[in-house]
Structure 1
Amino acid sequence: MPAALPPARPARELLRMTGRTVLPVLEAAVDTLTPELRRAARFHFGFPGPDGEPPPGRVSRLRVTALALLCTSIDGGLAERGLRAAAAFTLTMHQAGIHDNITDRDDVRYGRPTLWREFTLDHALQTGTALLTLAVRMLATSGYDRRDQMTVALMDGVVGNGEGQLADLALDFTGGSPADPEACLAVIEAKTGPILRAACRLGALAGAATPEQVDDIAELGTPLAQVMQLRNDLDDLWTPLTGDGTPRRTDLRHRKVTHPIAAALAGTGRARDRLAAYLASTAEPSPRELDDLVQAIERCGGRDRTESAVRQAAAQARRRLERAAPAPQAHADLLALIDLLEHS
């Protein structure tokens, strides 16, 4: 039998630790930008403005940042060695998020207007580019022995995410050929998978993990991408107000075919036909109509199938983690993080 793992630190404690250590590094990096870019970036991250008051909403949950930081400790050393790697990754992830908000036409994130809504489209695009530049600079000046490999891994994640974003935009309801649930999973792997694999790889490269361990832990990012995106899809439909302050049912209102919707479309019957008719239309839905459509999705099995897919992806993530043979404390802490991602 495998040896028992030590007690994991509570996942919420891991997130608080991540915030205490990484946010000051992010804020210091953002403050090196020129004034207009700095103003936009500080708003995006939720840092206090010139009046000393933070904007409405809150800082992002830092769950993937915690993933990068914990992957540094798979060799048995301190996670804090990966601080600059985790910060560089977070800058890159937010660059991707800023651009994603534009393409998805998201108006609110983290309880406040998205950057392109609060400022302008040009501000958002240029701020995203600036964050990516800060990330590369942070790795270049980090002193990590494997910083060249880390930079390549990060840029591979950016390119992969961009390619996946195009696939996501093409995933739409087209009358007789709706997206199916497997296509949704493939798009998640193509879009979010590269970013999460980069997070795991950067963290491991910041420590003393072997090349084999680095490759193995990077593969943890693929099922975790599915866990996170599928949970987000469910929250958008069934959480009254999502944990990050995003208005509910944004995807449905924009007629974006997510996994629960695709799973419902795979069924038959009047509820399925009503959902298909809505997706093929262009009229602005009323709140009552959105409520009815969500009920139709549930009646068609969309919710149950997506919940099942979350459980399957989380189980796969645990198997991938075990294959990487992390040190016992890192193993326990990463399992706690997987549990958190699966259920919230």
Structure 2
Amino acid sequence: MDTLGGAEFVPETTYLNTSTCGLLPRRAVEAVRALALSSGTGQPDGAGDFDVVEAARASFARLVRVPADRVAVGTAVAVHVGLIAASLPPGSEVLLPEGEFSSVVTPFTVRGDLKPRYVPLESLAAEVRPETALVAFSAVQSSDGRTADLAGVRAAAAAHGARTLLDATQAAGWLPIDAGEYDYTVTGGYKFLVSPRGTSFLTVGEEAQRSLVPILAGWVAGQDMWASTYGPVGELAVSARRFDQPVPFLAYHGAERSLPLLDDIGIETIHAHNTALAARFRAGLREIGHEPAGTGHADGSAIVAVAGLGDRQDALARAGVAVAVRAGNLRAAFHLYNSTADVDRALDVLAG
């Protein structure tokens, strides 16, 4: 199976580490370089372009199937989750999967007056109850690639009047996501969205927008930004832009070029490509005597983890194969710039 994206990607290793950080396409590298050069030489456009940020917002909105006015931009998932955590009344129950990524969990626990409750991922839908205010969870688990029962959690939350917060960081870019089906989604852009670090997107449903307090609001959250630069912002944006953070322009100039590439190829096409490579890797692991982690809940994932092989990361690195170790698991992630040759290379090293 050939790669997708053509000459946009030029990995010099067998790169199976997108769950840590995705590769930037050439077009994004060129955009970042151009802005950095303009900034370094005092050119009029060196400060960055808000129109580019709006284009990145619109591209992300298309990828997750919501209008652009439901999308806020920022810098990190933890900051977006913190905004949501700050809006919850004291004593609210937040239902979370055991072992969930820290950025989804910690903003709730540091408040000290909320009631986090942890359950196995597989039981998440069944554990929603009338007193649950929010279900916060990842579409795909960082540690082992397990996928959540998205439809089941949505149905259970709706039945009990709970809101939903989906972290799509390990999913958006390869797994079809409809962000409009959740009250909130948060997505770091630097993994499967192949955008620079410093890009993060928050989607807020129409009903949720009315109760989420924009405690991070600065001048960029004003309906008229340039009339909001001094004193209190007189009128906040009527869209989710009221939740915007000031953005790092270098990162968003790159994202504005990366995101349309995914849209052009198509998430369904990328999904089929990535999951086929992951299935090949799982089959190869079993042939050499290693059972992938999360079997039954990770078999359709683009992320493959296997316990007991964490100590092989250095050997793989010496052979030019980039993977990660998370929660004791050796973790490989497959994306549009990978091929069957990459899968077979990693298996050869592990077998040898």
| TM-score by shorter chain over 0.5 | no
Question: Higher strand proportion, which one?
Answer: 2
Question: Higher helix proportion, which one?
Answer: 1
TM-score bucket (shorter structure): under 0.3
